[in-house]
Amino acid sequence: MSAASDVVELCAQLIAIDSTNFGPAGAKGEREVADYFVPLLRAAGYDPTVLESAPTRANVVVRVTGTSRELPALLVHGHLDVVPAAAEDWSVPPFAGRVADGFVWGRGATDMKDMIASMLATLLAWAREGVRPRRDLVFAFVADEEDDGQRGAEWLVDEHPELFAGVAAAIGEAGGAPVDVAAPDGTTHRFYPVAVAERGSLHMSVRATGTAGHGSQRNDDNAVVHLVAGLQRLAAHRWPLRPTPATQAFLEQATRTLGLDVDVRTEAGIEAALDRFGALRPFVEPALRCSTTLTVLEAGNKMNVIPSAARAEIDVRSLPGTDDAMLAIVDELLGPAVSRTMLSDSRAIAAPLESPWYDAIARCVVAADPEATVLPFCMAGGTDAKPFSRLGIPCYGFAPRGPDPEGRVPSGAHGVDERIPVAALEGGARMLRALLETI
């Protein structure tokens, strides 16, 4: 049996274990997921290390010894937890792991029990066939990615960095799936975006203070007014266009492949290209600028009482290399009457675009799909790549999927009726195995 022949059953079984992460309210099922696959790995001859950062918050690490010990190791990581699912909104039970209509259905089918299944299928196929990779491979199955990683990758990096000794690069979530786009000449081109960078998450709580008083009286020291004035300046600010090297490479390669006659070195040219990018647009548009989005606003508790304080929360996203400068601009816009407290100080990261690791990923994709165009991109959000990068590990987003010959596409990540085409899942497992055997 091949990795592809295992992966559908493994994915369905993993989905059937509810490992919902409720954020501050806790999580369930991560230990149960580990208890499902760890015996399979041990029976196959592997020696997985199971580490609980807290009761039931399981992380599993497996090191596979390569045939060429002089080569540096590669980390392959994925998370065991999933976001909540409201069963009443779904057309299928979200934790049944149903295989029907050419799809595997359920919460985690695309985020990211599909990749976990591909990792396990590769390991089990190697054990059956007596295959060893060229270099050491460290497989990390981690908890808590869907919250803040403090019970997962963050904890492993802080408490058990020795598990990643000799690792020179990593692959994980957020890239490697096919995206079809129609060109002006009527032809369709297939792209595979691969994440080489992630915007930073500089989430903050901001607070203004003033003099409390009666709502009927004049008050020039109103905390709500101080806060709203700062937030208005921030909301009105347009962050400048700043394509990173990865984003510029994405723009140039995509426009060249599609035959678009636009100059993506200019803002007008970039806007024109975005209008023709179709399903590629979400991969590049958020990474063109830093962003600040007001998400929470709190002040007062009674109509006729001026409160002594007002607060807000802001989702701040930085581009690689901009973190400190961006925070300085945020402070200037908010003004001296508003103070900030960082809720998350997860800085932007970027891996080398010109590297043997990225080149190997691109070769693997083209070998599986000769018509493919591989594009580097900067993720709008973040993954466990950020904590692993603190160990000096360049991280690439490559959790591959194959195309579906019937045109089915994955759907519903973090939403309703999450599902992945069987063909995409099997193709991804084949691609992952090929990469790990040749890289």
CA 180 to chain centre: 21
Enumerate helices (H) and strands (E) in the chain, giving the number of each. 12, 20
DSSP one-letter string for 65-88:
--S-TTSPEEEEEEE--B----GG
pLDDT tens column, 124-167: 999 999 999 999 999 999 999 999 899 999 999 999 999 999 99
pLDDT of residue 153: 98
pLDDT of residue 5: 62
4: pLDDT confidence band, cut at 50, 70 and 90?
Answer: low
How far apart CA 203 and CA 294 sit, in angstroms, is 10
pLDDT tens column, 390-430: 999 999 999 999 999 999 999 999 999 999 999 999 999 99
pLDDT of residue 209: 96
Taking residue 370's Cβ as centre, other Cβ atoms within 10 Å add up to 7
7: pLDDT confidence band, cut at 50, 70 and 90?
Answer: very high
Average of pLDDT values for 92-113? Answer: 97
pLDDT tens column, 10-62: 999 999 999 999 999 999 999 999 999 999 999 999 999 999 999 999 999 99
Tell me: cis bond preceding 431? Omega within 30 of 0 counts: no
DSSP one-letter string for 301-350:
SSTTEE-SEEEEEEEEEE-TT-HHHHHHHHHHHH-TTEEEEES--B--EE
State the Cα angle at 110 between 434 and 252, rounded to 5°.
70
110: pLDDT confidence band, cut at 50, 70 and 90?
Answer: very high
1: pLDDT confidence band, cut at 50, 70 and 90?
Answer: very low
How far apart CA 248 and CA 243 sit, in angstroms, is 6
How far apart CA 179 and CA 211 sit, in angstroms, is 55
2: pLDDT confidence band, cut at 50, 70 and 90?
Answer: low
Residues 6 or more apart whose Cβ sits within 8 Å of residue 55: none
pLDDT tens column, 187-207: 999 999 999 999 999 999 999
Taking residue 424's Cβ as centre, other Cβ atoms within 10 Å add up to 25
Percent of the chain with pLDDT over 70: 99
| Greatest extent of the chain over all pairs of C-alpha atoms, in Å | 82
Q: Are 68 and 135 in contact (CB under 8 A)?
A: yes
Percent of the chain with pLDDT over 90: 98
Burial letters 158-189, b for 16+ CB under 10 A, else e = eeeeebbeebbbbbbbbbbbbbebeeeeeeeb
Tokens 């492993």 map to which residue? Answer: 156
Pairing of strands 73-79, 167-172: parallel
Q: Are 193 and 280 in contact (CB under 8 A)?
A: yes
In the beta sheet, which residues pair with residue 299? 310
Helix (H, G, I), strand (E, B) or coil at 194: strand
109 phi, psi to nearest 5 deg: -60, -35
Tokens 């490697």 map to which residue? Answer: 176
332: pLDDT confidence band, cut at 50, 70 and 90?
Answer: very high
